[in-house]
Every structure is written in C-alpha cells, then in structure tokens.
Amino acid sequence: MKKAVKSQRPVNLDLRTIKLPITAYTSILHRVSGVILFLGIALLLLALDTSLSSEEGFATVQAYLGSPLVKLVIWALLSALLYHLVAGIRHLIMDTGHGETLQGGKLGSKIVLVVSAVLIVLAGVWVW
C-alpha cells in the first residue's frame, strides 16, 4: 500500500476569502472586458446591418438608441472598450521594460483603474 503524503496545499478555496493583489484584479478585469467586447461586437454589427438594410431599419435602430436600456448597454460596451484600451496600453508600456517590478506593477494597476474610471464616467456623461 502507498503511504498517504501530507499535503501542504491550502484547505480553504473559497474565492471570497482569498486576498488577491491589485495586479490580479486588473488582469482579470482586462480579460473580462475583452470577452464583453467580443460579445458586444455581435450586437453592434447586428445594429449596423439593420440600419443599413433600409430606411425602416435605420428608423428602427434610431428608435432603439433612444431607449435607456440600450443607452446602458452602449455605455457598458464603451466602458469595456475604455478599460481594455487603458490596460492594453499598460501592457505595451510593460513590454518596453517599464513597470516590471512589483512596485511598478502595483502603481501601473492603480493608474489603470483611476484613468479608466475617469474615462468611463466621461463616456457615461457623453452617452446620457
């Protein structure tokens, strides 16, 4: 019989109690924003196709764009785009060798969150 090996693995894998660093949150948000953009492009292409199909289609899309729910969706897509853009620029800067240290990564993550928040608020003002 094989002897049981005492494992040093963590016992508690409850994701709500695990403390992640700020760099992990920005990385996860970057991936989530990419998925949202991927799915949102389908909606935007459908609206573009409908608007270009006929005058009635254009009027239909124009009517939908006045709806608060559609404005919220547009703002969400713009928010994902802006966050993904700012985080992508951070990755490009890191590819040049800047901000690769632990402190530089944390500072870069904080800058990404602040700049993204400002741009998202401005996009919300623009949409509404």
Whole-angstrom distance, CA of residue 108 vs CA of residue 85: 14
Cβ atoms of residues 44 and 77 within 8 Å: yes
Contacts of 25 (CB under 8 A, 6+ apart): 109
The model's pLDDT over 28-60, given as tens digits with 9 standing for 90+, comes to 999 999 999 999 999 999 999 999 999 999 999
CA end-to-end distance (rounded Å), the chain:
69
Whole-angstrom distance, CA of residue 9 vs CA of residue 52: 57
The model's pLDDT over 79-88, given as tens digits with 9 standing for 90+, comes to 999 999 999 9
Indicate the SS3 state at residue 79: helix
